[in-house]
Structures are given as C-alpha cells and as structure tokens.
A and B are shown apart, each in its own frame.
Chain A
C-alpha cells in the first residue's frame, strides 16, 4: 500500500519554486498533495503527483535534484483525537514519524494523512491492526 513520493531540493532564491512547479505543469503532471519546509539556505519540497515517473523525468532533465521514496497514506475520520490516536499507536510500537502532512479528501468527513516513518511495512501492519484505514496510491493520484 506504499505511496510514491518525490522529494525535491529547492534553493532559497526568488522564483525557484515557481520554476520547479512550472516544469511539472509543462510536463502535464498534476500535484495531488505537497508539503514544503525550509531552512535558511534551502527547502525540501515533497510531492505526491499524478505520474511519479514522468515528474521525476522532467525534473531530472531540468537539472533538479530529486529522490523518490515510499511513504504511507491513511484516511482518518474528521473527529477530535483521530490523529492523536494514530501517532500514539505508532509510538507504542516504537515507530517514529519523521514528517507528515495532511490534506482534504473527496471523501466527506475524512482527512488523508501522508506519513514518513522508519519502517513502512511494520507501521502499516500496526495501523491496520488498530483499525486505521490505509489508502492506496490510486486513491490520491487517481
């Protein structure tokens, strides 16, 4: 159930993010979810896109540093304590969340959360056993 995510190195200079997302637009790649965080010198843009291979290709051709990793996605109900429950479940099993980002879903009353953990397989199993719904890549990219 792993989902492919692209990480992009973005130098902190005006217009650079516009250029990088522009390459994706020209390549006909649609961004389904993203997160960006930065330090003083550079940022890392993380993307879930409609066509990961194509996105990696257009960015690589434009000389942009990219890497592809697998992350997991879950669907949680829009109720108080839902995310806390997820994190507690993982913490109890000794799984660390390196980063996460959430976004709205077409499914009413739910949010999708992308999680980067140490061990995708182990984390997926724990979450499944705790009754937390995992989502397939197609649910986001489709």
Chain B
C-alpha cells in the first residue's frame, strides 16, 4: 500500500537531487531567519553559498537538545507567531520540555509523512484505528491522528488511561488497529485478559507502535497476545513528531521520508560521519520545515542506515530499529549497557513478566547493576531451589548478553510501575544517597 507512490519510489539519484536542492534552501532559510543559526554558521565559517554537495553538510555543526532549551520557548522559530498555527512540546523525558511550532504548511506535510507510514504498515481506509497515545502537548497522538484521517481511516481519539473503557470501545467498535507505545499495548493485553470477555471479542489486526523502543521479543509477545501484525514508526517532536520513518509490511528497517528529512549516522563521540551500514548516532536535518527548521539535529538515538531498495518497492533509505540512546546508554564498569538488551533477555523467559527496573549503584569504587523482575510463574513458589535456579538463569543470560555480572531480584507481580507514555526503567543512584526503605 502506498499513499504517495511516486515520491516513495523515486530513483536514488532523484532523491539526492531533491535533498541537495532542499538542503541548500534550508541552510539559507535558517541563516536568514534564525539568529541562532546565523551565528552558528558564521562561527563555523559556513555560508549558504558554500553548500554545493550533500557532503558539505558535514561542515555544519550539529544542533542539540540543549540548543532548543537555551532558546526556550520560541527562540529557534524561523517565522513570526502569526504564521504559527500549532505548538507542541516534548515529553521532557530528559529534562525541561522543548517547544516546537508548526505553520499550516508544516502540518500539511506532517500528515502526508504520517499517512505514508501508516499505509506502508498496512493501514487502509477500511480500518478503525484507536489512538491510545496521550493527547495534549505530546506530538504522538495528533501526528498519527491527522495522518490516519488523511489516509481515510476512522480515527478513535481515545487517548491513554482508563484502559477498561478503551477496551470496551475496542470490543464494541470492532476496532482493527491500535496506536500505542509497545509497553502500553502489552499492559492493555494484560488488562484485557483479566476481564470477563474472551480475546476473540477483539478484532485488532494491525499495531502502529512508537514513541519508545520495542525489541523483537516484545513485538512477538504483543502480536501473540492480540493476534495482530505489529509495526514500528519513529520520530521525535523536535523534528516534527512521529513521521520521520516507519516500517513497511516487509519489516526490514524503517523507511525514512527522505524528501523531507536528510539522515546521517555519526560516531557519537567524535561526530565523524560513518559509512553506510555502520552503527552510530542518527543526525537529522529537516528539509522542508518552516516553523522550526533544524540542521543536523542530534537525536541521541543509535541506529544504522541502508540505502538498498526494499522488496516493498520503496526506494527511501531504511534505518534499523533504535538500538538504544546515546544518552540512555548506561556505562557500567566501563561496559556499554542498553536497557533494550536487558528487555530482550527477559522477554525470552516465561517465568518472569517483561516489566523490569534497573538500579545502578556505586558500591565502593565499583558500579553494580541490579535487575528487578516480577515473578509470573507462581508454581516456582514450591521451592526456593526453583526460584534460585530462575535467578541464576537470568544472571547467566544477562552475563552472556551484557558481558557484566549483575544482581537479580525477584519481586512480587504487578509491583513494578507500568508506564502509559515513555517507560522510565533506569534508576541511577551512583551520585545519590539512597533512601533506605
């Protein structure tokens, strides 16, 4: 399924031609309309005229989240407020929110981007789609909302929370597709199983998941619980919201809307551009945005890009599912640890639930990692030996995947916090005094 087939299947040369033309335009547009960028480009000795090839982008210093915060709330907007028709803010997962503004034209292109990704994932005008992202300042819900409407789907703007009522609508409306974070989709399945209605009362066939990472194991679990086909999409409010990239039905990477976004992979430490196929931090330059154009925005997300055309017919480059965040990455005893690695170990085990919490402490001069998981197979209560065996098995699997030793604590079911929005699973106590409970 295609929403804009001509654009989505352009030959690579055509994509590069459009990208270069739009990059030149965007650099000049930033230089002339955003004082922050004029100074940044002047300091780096980059003039708009000196951008002649796509590789010239490497001379532009990256933009960071701190730049957005320093210019809070509207300092980086490139248009006067009379041109702005919508304002969103990031969820503020890692500090003060960042504020983004859209012109009417921005919203139009945003819904095009979203409609393309939803169609690529398999959504059609026959679908009834429930949006279980929180509405409000977060870009996720409204981004999907307008994209799905544009595609012709019947949108149910349920928002998040009040899960039982959401489930009632899903049964009664015979809702066919769900927009949610992967962890909330799992939580909804847990809740649905506790109600008196059989799972056959639900008709979900497609999941459009995003806003947080989803390991292949978690995806399988969601698909099994709901009997749906799960797809991932990617974006961030600073760049627009969801709509930057998304999986097609082949599910072999997320197609980047390359006519609107120029993506690069760099080494997160040196910021040097990496070759195709190498893993590093994703940098994105917006190519058409009017309200808040960004040059080489550091997403902090770790991924990899391939430019090979896809079996689905799309020529847009594909990025890997996000492996982790360069700033969420935990460095424990010198080893890089991504929470997603821990998740993939736990999801492969039947006797614990996939909800977990990581606690990092500094004991003496050594870092320690404690993984708290919920017991789900109560038959293990028959003997300590079985629970100890489970603890040792988790420890062993973690050691195999992470390369470090950790402590595993088994806790009571349903005691680890469930997250409706982005999950906050890491408690880093290395520079804090711990409250004794």
Q: Are B379 and A67 in contact (CB under 8 A)?
A: yes
Q: Are B381 and A9 in contact (CB under 8 A)?
A: yes
Q: Are B382 and A69 in contact (CB under 8 A)?
A: yes
Interfacial chain B residues near A69, Cβ < 8 Å: 382
A7 to B384, CA, bound (A): 11
Q: Are A9 and B382 in contact (CB under 8 A)?
A: no
Q: Are B383 and A98 in contact (CB under 8 A)?
A: yes
Known: A9-B375, A11-B415, A13-B437. A44 touches B381 (CB 8 A): yes
Interfacial chain A residues near B410, Cβ < 8 Å: 9, 41-42
Question: Which one of A14, A64, A98, A116 lies within 8 Å of B412 (CB-CB)?
Answer: A64
**B397 at interface, CB cutoff 8 A:** no
Q: Are B381 and A65 in contact (CB under 8 A)?
A: yes
**A31 at interface, CB cutoff 8 A:** no
Main secondary structure of the interface of B (DSSP, over half): mixed
Question: How does the 8 Å CB contact mask read for B382-419 relative to A, with 1 for contact and 0 for none?
Answer: 11100110000000000000000000011111110000
**A80 at interface, CB cutoff 8 A:** no
Residue of A nearest to B385 (CB): A98
Question: How does the 8 Å CB contact mask read for A6-21 relative to B, with 1 for contact and 0 for none?
Answer: 0111110110000000
A87 to B261, CA, bound (A): 75
Question: How does the 8 Å CB contact mask read for A58-89 relative to B, with 1 for contact and 0 for none?
Answer: 00000111110100000000000000000000
Question: How does the 8 Å CB contact mask read for A85-128 relative to B, with 1 for contact and 0 for none?
Answer: 00000000000001100000000000000001000000000000
A47 to B414, CA, bound (A): 22
Residue of B nearest to A69 (CB): B382
Interfacial chain B residues near A14, Cβ < 8 Å: 437
**B378 at interface, CB cutoff 8 A:** yes
Q: Are B381 and A67 in contact (CB under 8 A)?
A: yes
Q: Which residues of A in the span 10-39 have a Cβ within 8 Å of any Cβ on B?
A: 10-11, 13-14, 37, 39
Residue of B nearest to A42 (CB): B410
Interfacial chain B residues near A65, Cβ < 8 Å: 375, 378, 381, 412-413
Interfacial chain A residues near B414, Cβ < 8 Å: 63
Q: Are B384 and A66 in contact (CB under 8 A)?
A: no
The residue among B379, B382, B388, B415 with the most chain A CB atoms within 10 A of its own CB is: B382
Q: Are B409 and A8 in contact (CB under 8 A)?
A: no
A38 to B340, CA, bound (A): 32
Interfacial chain A residues near B411, Cβ < 8 Å: 11, 42
B contact residues vs A (CB 8 Å cutoff): 375, 378-379, 381-384, 387-388, 409-415, 437
- 5 A-B residue pairs with Cβ-Cβ distance under 8 Å, sorted by A, are A7-B382, A9-B412, A14-B437, A65-B378, A66-B378
